[in-house]
Structure 1
Amino acid sequence: MSPAPPAESMEVAVVGCGVVGATAAVELAEAGADVTVFEAGDVASGASGRAAGICYDAFADSLDAEIAAEALETFRERDAITDCPYVWLARAGDDRSAAAMAEHVPRMQKQGRDVEFIAPADLDARWPALRTDDIERAAIAHDAGFVDTGNYTRETAQFAVAAGADLRAETPARLDERGRVNGEAFDAVVVAAGAQTPRLVAAAGLPIPVKAYRVQAFLSAETPLSAAVPMCYDATGSYYLRPRGGGLFVGDGTVPEAADPTDWNRRADEWFVEECADYLQQAIGQTVPERRSWAGLCTATPDGDPLVGERAPGIYVATGFQGHGFMRGPAIGKRLARAVLGESASPAFDPNRFAPDEDFDIVEGMTLEE
C-alpha cells in the first residue's frame, strides 16, 4: 500500500461511535483529517453503553497490560474513573481457578502491575459485607476503577465533533466492494461497530472470523452494601460484581452460542436473574431486589484476542474484544488512528492472522485463563 497522504488531506470514515470509534475520530480530527462518523443509532447505544465499566490493568500478557495501563491513564486524565480495587477470587474446591491465579499473579507483577495476593481475613476486615468463609485464594489489583461508559462515550463523541468531525447519528452504514460507505469514497475507513463489524466488512468482500454472543447484566435496587464492596470477579461462579448507582451490578450470564447481531434478545433470561439472586446470597449473605436487567453482545475470536488493524488497503477494523473492549477502548482507538495516519504500523492483533472462514468455539472472555 502506498504511504498515507498527509492528515490534512485525508478523508476518513469511522463506522460506529462506541468508545473505540469515538476515540479514533477525535484523534483523526485533531490531526487535521476530514472525519465522517456513521452511527446506526444513538451514540453509545450499543456495546459501549451497555458495558460494565470495570477497568484495570491486571493482565499477565505484556501487550494487554500495556494497553490497559494506557487506557487507565486516559480515563484519569479525563477525570472519568472512580478508583476502586478489583478483587478476584476462587472458592473452596475450585482448584483450577486457584492454580490459575497462582500462576498469573506473579506474571502480572513482572509486568509492573500493582497486584498482590490477599488473605480472606484481610478481605473481611476491609470489606465486611463480602462473605469470605469459603474463599480458597484471592488477589487484588489496586490500579483499577469503574467508569460510566455511556457518559464517557458520549463525551468523547462531543470532543470529536468539536474537533471538526461530522457525526451522523441514526445513519446505518453500508460498505461495498470498492470500500465506499453509503456510496461515498474515503481515503480510509475504520469499522469499529462492535458485533456489526463482521457483517459490514463481509459486504465489502472482507470476511473476518468473529462471532457475536450474548452476555447479561443485573442491577439491584439501592442498598447500603453498594458502598461496602469492591469490584470483584468470582472465578468459581463466573460472575463479576461492582457498585453502581447505589446498587450492586452483577454481570456475565454468558450464552456461548453465536447470536445474530441483527436479531437478538436484549432482555435478560429469567434463569440469569434467578442466579444473580443466588449469587448475591453467596457473595454478601443476602439477596437484593432487582432494579433492572438486560443483555448485550460481546464478540469472540479464535484465540480470544481482538482483531485490530488494517484488514485490507485502507480498510481498518476493531472488534472481537471478548468483553474487554471498553476498558481498552481509549488506547485501542488512539493506536488505530495513528495507524490510519501512517504514523505507526497497524496495531498488534493483526486482523489477518486467521483464515477468514476459520471456525471456532465461543469461549467467554471473563476468565482467569489469560
Structure 2
Amino acid sequence: MMFLKRWCLLPLSGLLILAIVPTVPEVMDSMSMCPNFFLEGTPPEVPGILESGTILNQNRYKTICQTYNNTRRFVTLYDTVNRIPVFSAYKYRGTGKGKRPNPPWKIEPQVYFHSLLEGKNNINMVNSRSVRYEHQASDIDYKSDSKVYNRGHLFPSSHAFDESDKVSTFTLTNIVPQAISFNNGSWGKMENCVQCVMKKYCTDNNEVIEGFVVTGAKPSNNNILNERINIPEILWTAFCCYSSKVNKWLASAHWGDNIAEESKSKYLQTKTLQQLNQRLRSGEPRFEVFPRKECPKYETVTEYYPEINAKDKDCHCPNPPTTTTTAVPSTTAVPSTTAITERRKVSPS
C-alpha cells in the first residue's frame, strides 16, 4: 500500500549523532515510524486531501507523529492553513487511574521552527509560548474568546492509557475551537459511551484491550476564531475493533454540529460507518474512515448499551433506537466477520 508522507521526528538513536554533527529532522516518505495508530496501518480516505495514502498538497497538510518524552503517542494530519487538525488517530488501550491533567499547552516544533533550541533538533512536542506561530495555533489564539469556544480535543485525554499519554493530548495540533456547551454536553457524553464500549468489548483473544479510533473536524467556510483559527462546522469520530467477547468486529460512528446546545439532555445519535462516510463525502471521491474490510459498515453497537449502563454506573450511553443496522444495498457485498476473524492474527499490544 501507499503510505502518508510525513514530517518525521528523529528516532532516539539519531540523537547520538547530534552531539557530533549538526543535523535537521529527516523527512521521511512513509509512516513506517508510527504505523500502529491505524487499523493494519491503513489511514482514512479524505477526498482532496488524503487519497490512497498520499497527501495531495504536502505543503499545506503535515502528518505529525505526536511524540512526548521520546515516545510516539498518536498521529495527526494537520492543516497548516486552517491551523486545525484534519484528524487525529489513536489506539485505545484502556485507561489507568488518574485525573485529567492540567499541563502547559504544547506545539509541534517541526511544523514551525520557533528557535534552534525548540525546533529543528527536537523530537518532542514543546510548550507553547506567548507568540503567534505562522503555521499552527498558539496558546494565545484560544485565550481571546473563551466565552463561546474552548479547546476541543480530538484525541481526548480521558481515552489515554496512562498519565504521559494524557499529557500528550494537550498539544494545540490536537485541538479545534469547539462550542463549550457542545464539548461539555453531547460530545462529552458520546466520548464516555464510546470508551465504555471499547473497554468492555474491544478485547482480543488474549484479553488485551485494543480499539482503533479516528476523530476529525470538517472546516467551516468562513467562521474564524480571532482571524486565525478555523472554527469547524462539524466534529466526527469513529471506532473499530475486534471483540473476542462477541466473536466479531465492531464499529460505530458519531458526528455533531459545532454549535451551542440549549438542552443538557441531548445525545449524539450513534451511526454506522457508512452513514458517516456519506455525511462527509464531497462529490464523487469517497470518504472512508476505515478503508479496510474488517470493520462492519452497516452496523452499530447500540444493542450493547443497555448491558453497559446496567453494569457500570459511570457509563451513560443513550437508549438504543428501534434498529441498529442500516440496510445493506443489494449490490454491495458485506464481508463475513467470521471469515475475517479466523484469519485475524491476535497478539498482545
- Specify the TM-score bucket, using the shorter chain as the normaliser: under 0.3
TM-score, scaled relative to structure 1: 0.26
More helix by share: 1
TM-score, scaled relative to structure 2: 0.27
Task: Tell me which of the two structures has the higher relative contact order, counting C-alpha pairs closer than 8 angstroms and 6 or more residues apart.
Answer: 1
